[in-house]
Structure 1
Amino acid sequence: MRLSQRHAFILVGLAALGLTAVAWGIGEWLHLQPCPLCIFQRLLYLLLAAIAFCAAFARLVRRLLSGLLALTAAGGVATASYQSWLQWQSDTSLECGVGAPSLLERIVYWFGELWPQMFMATGFCSSKEWVFLYLSMANWSALCFFAFLLAAVWLARGAARS
């Protein structure tokens, strides 16, 4: 059975929403303190979902939306990889939230004011509060974003053929 492009985009969107819900649920259940980079990754997952759902129903611009999906996923890989790097460093001067807020932090804080239960950043980017199979949540997030990047490239190739 062959998966249609529309269903593939819907599946990508549902996966991105699911990962957002899982990250939020784990944080609530274990009382984890998400950092600005964690919250930014949540926002990127939600953006991935929105782009994927738009692509599912906008056949004429699927190739463009696949490119946006790939760029968003690449941004997620970069963000999660940077957070993973911060977790391996012991230099607290590299910590996010130190000094004047960056554009990314201002965006996160704005969303935190709108919906604090979902987007309030209260933790430190270098802390590894949750580890599963020797990988932190940032490590798992980088892997998931990489999978979304591969899916976006695959979907873009399919959109180019149709």
Structure 2
Amino acid sequence: MRLSPRSVFGLLALASIGFVAAGLALGEWARLQPCYLCVFQRLLYLLLAFFALCGVLIPRWRRLWCSLVSLTAIGGVITAIEQSWMQYAPEQVIECGYSDPTLLERIVDWFGMQWPAMFMVTGFCTTKDWIFLGLSLANWSVVFFLGLLGVAVWLGFKRKTL
């Protein structure tokens, strides 16, 4: 089966939106409280989906969209690794929200005021409330962002017909 770059970009966008939807559904079902880093990762998934949709609509700039998707995914990997580290060693962490707000916290707070159901922070970054196959939600986010990064890098270096 051959996939066009548009199809792959569409799959990247669907996967990113699906991860956000799954996270929201899981949060409601398991009564999870999102922290600043969780919400920031949601924003990164949505930004990644936006760039992927741009790749669907303007495929001739494929390398630009792949680069932007890759940079966003790298940001997601870094954020999810930071949260995973905070969960691994909570006693070594100054919790988010207890000092002067960082740029990340200000961005998340602004989105939380605009759309509270989606972006309101109510939890702590060090809390591991949900574990599946030995991995926390932050660990799974590292895996998902790495997968999206791998697909974007692969698409950026492939020929037009896949």
TM over 0.5: yes
What's 2:121 paired with? 121
TM-score, normalised with respect to structure 2: 0.95
Taking the aligned partners of 1:29 and 1:84, their CA distance within structure 2 comes to: 22
Residue type at the aligned position of 1:118:
M
Match for residue 70 of structure 1? 70
What residue is the counterpart of 1:89 in the other structure? Answer: 89
- Normalising by structure 1, we get a TM-score of 0.95
- 1:141 and 1:157 mapped to 2: Cα distance? 24
Alignment of 1:102-141 (within 5 A): 102-141=102-141
Q: How does 1:12-161 map to 2 (within 5 A)?
A: 12-91=12-91, 93-158=93-158, 161=159
- The Cα of 1:134 is off from its aligned counterpart by 0.8
**Letter matched to residue 21 of structure 2:** A
**Structure 2: which 5+ runs fail to align?**
none
Does the CA-based 8 Å contact 2:86-2:93 persist in structure 1? no
Q: Deviations over 1:66-120 (max 9, x none)?
A: 0000000000000000000000113264221120110000000000000101100
d(CA) in 2 for partners of 1:62, 1:102? 33
In the comparison of the two structures, how many residue pairs are matched? 160
CA distance in 1, matches of 2:91, 2:97: 14
Would you say the 8 A contact 1:86–1:94 is kept in 2? no
AA aligned to 1:16 is S
Q: How many Å separate the matches in 1 of 2:93 and 2:141?
A: 24
Q: Which amino acid aligns with 1:9?
A: F
| Cα separation, 2, equivalents of 1:93 and 1:84 | 12
Query: Contact conserved, 1:66 with 1:153, CA < 8 A, in 2?
Result: yes
Of 51-60 and 111-120, more deviation after overlay is shown by 51-60
Quick check: 41-50 or 59-68, which moved more? 59-68
Tell me, what secondary structure is at the counterpart of 1:2? coil
**In 1, distance between residues paired with 2:103 and 2:90?**
24
Q: Which runs of 5+ in 1 are unaligned?
A: none
Q: Percent identity?
A: 54
- Mapped partners of 1:68, 1:90: distance in 2: 32
